[in-house]
Amino acid sequence: MVDNRILKNPVVKGTFILTMAGVLTKFIGFYYRIFLSNLIGARQLGIYQLIFPVYIFAISFCCQGLQAALTKSISAFCASGRQRQMKKSFWVVLIISFFLSLLVAVLIYIYAKPISTYIIRNTETVDCIRVICFGLPFVAIKSAIHGYCLGIQNSRVLGLSQLIEQIFRVAGTWFVAISLVSNDGYTAVIAAYGIVIGEVISCIYSILEIRGHFKRMKDTHTRRSAHTGATIMLLKDGVLLTSNRVSMTLLSSFEAILIPSMLTVFYKDSDYCLELFGVLTGMAMPFITLPSTLTNALSSMLLPAVSETKAKKQENTLSAMTASSLHFCSLIGIFSLILFIIFGKDLGTVVFGNEMAGEFIFMMAFLCPFIYISSTLSSILNGLDKTALNLFYHLLSITIRICFILFAVPAVGIRGYMWGLLASYLILTMLLLTTIHKEISFSFDCNRSLLMPAILASISGALVYIAYTYLTKITSLPRLMLLFFLIAVYGLFYFTITLFKDFIMKS
C-alpha cells in the first residue's frame, strides 16, 4: 500500500516525531515564559533574555557546526555499511566538542563581568552568565549524540531529549525556587539554574540511548578500516558549518542591536522604539515562525537523507525527495500566508491585546513561504556538499537586512525593516533554488503546489472568518477559544483536502 510506504519512510517518520516533540516543547516553553514572568517579574525576565546571545554564540562555536557535519558523515557511512568509521567519527566530534565547550565555558566564566559590561551592557547578568557556563559541556556531549542519531535517521532521541530538557528546565527552576526562598524576591539566576538542570538531565538520557545503541550494534569487522581522509573531510565540513553558524549568530546579534537605534532615528522616541521592537520580536515573530516547527523538523531529517541518497547515487530518489519537500513546504507556506492575512490582526488583538502586534503579523505574512522553503532548501544544499556556498548565501541574506536597517529604517521606519526581511528571504530562496536545480533535476508543478492551494486556502479561510465574525456576535464563548478552534478547523480542512488530492493523483 502507498500509505504504508509513506508511513515507513524514515524522512516522513522522523519529521512527524520531531514535529510532535517540537509542538509539545513550544507549548511547555510558552507555559515556562508565563511561569517565569510570575516568579521573577518582567524586569528580571528581561535580564534573563539578555544572556541568550552569549549562550547561543557559545553553542554555535562549540557544537552546532560539528553536529551537522557528523550527521552528514554518519548518513554516508551508514549507507555504505562502514560501522567502524561511524564510531570513530562520533568519538572525534564528541571529544572536540567537549573540550571546546570546556575552554569556552572557562573563558566566559572568567570574563563574565567584561562581557556583561561592554557587550550586553548590563552588569546584573554576571551571575546568570557564570551559571549557564556549567551547562555547556553537557550541551556538547548531547549535540554529538544527536548528530549521530540523526545520521542514522533516529529522530526519536533528539525529539525526546528536547522534550525532557524543557520539562526539567521548568521543574528545575521550580525546585531551585522553593529551595532558595528569599524575602527580597527571586532573580534571573533561578532561571539560569533551570537551564543547566534541563541540559544535564537531557544529556544523561541521550548518553543512555547512545550506549544502548552501541551495545546493539553488531561489530562487523569489514576490510574497510577507519580512513583518516574521511575524518579530515568531517573536520573540514565541521569548520565550514561552524563558520556558518558563528557568522550568522554574530550578524544576527548585530542586526538585533542595530534595529532599535535606527528606529530611534526615524521616530525620535527611544522608549517607543523599544516598545516597537519588543512587539515585533516578542509577539509578531513567534507567530510567523510557529509553522516552522514542521519545516525545521523536515530540514533536520533531509540532511542525512540527502547525504545517504547521494552516497548511493540514487538520482531519481534524490529528485523525488527534493520535489516532495518543496511541495510540502509550499503547502505550509501558502496556508500560513493566507492565515495571517485573514486572521493576523485578530491574533494580535485577542492573544496579546495589542493592535500593533496584529498589524505586524499581517504585514509579515508574506514572509512565510520564503522562510519555510529556504530552511528546507538550505538543508538539501548542505547534504549536497555545498556548505561554503550555503554559508555565503545566508551571510548575503543577513547583510541585505542590515543594509535595509541602516538606510531604509531611518527613512521610512519599521516598514523599511519589513521590506528588508522580504527582500532578503526572497533573494535567499531564489539563490538556493537556482543552485539546487543545477545539481538535481526535479519538477515543480505551480498549479499543484501554489495556485490550487492558494485558491483553496483563500476561499476556505474567508468562509471561516465569516463564521468567526458571526459567532463572536451570537455566542458568549471567549474570543481566544473561538479563534483557535476555528483556525484549527480551517487548518484541518485545508490539509485534509490538499493531501487527499495528492493521494488521489498518485493513485
What is the tens place of the pLDDT at every residue in 55-66? Answer: 988 998 888 888
What is the tens place of the pLDDT at every residue in 435-488? Answer: 988 888 878 888 888 899 999 999 999 999 999 999 998 888 888 889 989 999
Q: Taking each helix axis from N to C terminus, what angle separates 10-50 and 155-179, rounded to the nearest 10 degrees?
A: 30
Residues 245/33/276/458 CA torsion (nearest 10 deg) = 80
Question: What pLDDT score was predicted for residue 386?
Answer: 82
What is the tens place of the pLDDT at every residue in 236-249? Answer: 777 777 877 787 78
Q: Is the pLDDT score of 227 beyond 70?
A: no
Q: Give the HSE-up count for residue 473: Cα atoms under 13 Å, Cβ half-sphere.
A: 5
- Residues belonging to the chain: 507
Question: What pLDDT score was predicted for residue 80?
Answer: 66
Determine what percent of the chain is predicted with pLDDT higher than 90.
34
Task: Write the secondary structure of 98-160 as one string of H (helix), E (strand) and C (coil).
Answer: HHHHHHHHHHHHHCHHHHHHHHHCCHHHHHHHHHHHHHHHHHHHHHHHHHHHHHCCCHHHHHH
Q: Is the pLDDT score of 90 beyond 50?
A: yes
What does the domain layout of the chain look like in residue ranges? 1-226, 244-444, 445-507
Quick one: CA dihedral 48, 51, 53, 57, positive or negative? negative
3-state secondary structure of 347: helix
Mean pLDDT is lowest, of 124-138, 272-286, 298-312, 360-374, for 298-312
Question: What pLDDT score was predicted for residue 54?
Answer: 87
Q: Identify the band that residue 302 occupies on the pLDDT scale cut at 50, 70 and 90.
A: low
3-state secondary structure of 187: coil
C-alpha 391/C-alpha 242 separation (Å) is 10
Q: Is the pLDDT score of 123 beyond 90?
A: no
C-alpha 144/C-alpha 73 separation (Å) is 12
Residue predicted with more confidence, 119 or 182:
119
Mean pLDDT of the chain: 82
C-alpha 260/C-alpha 275 separation (Å) is 9
Mean pLDDT is lowest, of 27-41, 79-93, 221-235, 280-294, for 221-235
DSSP 8-state code for residue 443: -
Average pLDDT over every residue of 150-165: 84
Q: Which of 190, 142, 172, 150 is nearest to 41 (CA)?
A: 190
- The three grid cell numbers given for residue 34, joined into one nine-digit string: 508565563
Average pLDDT over every residue of 309-325: 75
Please name the residue ranges forming H helices in 225-291: 228-267, 270-279, 285-289
Q: Are 18 and 300 in contact (CB under 8 A)?
A: yes
Q: Is the pLDDT score of 47 beyond 80?
A: no
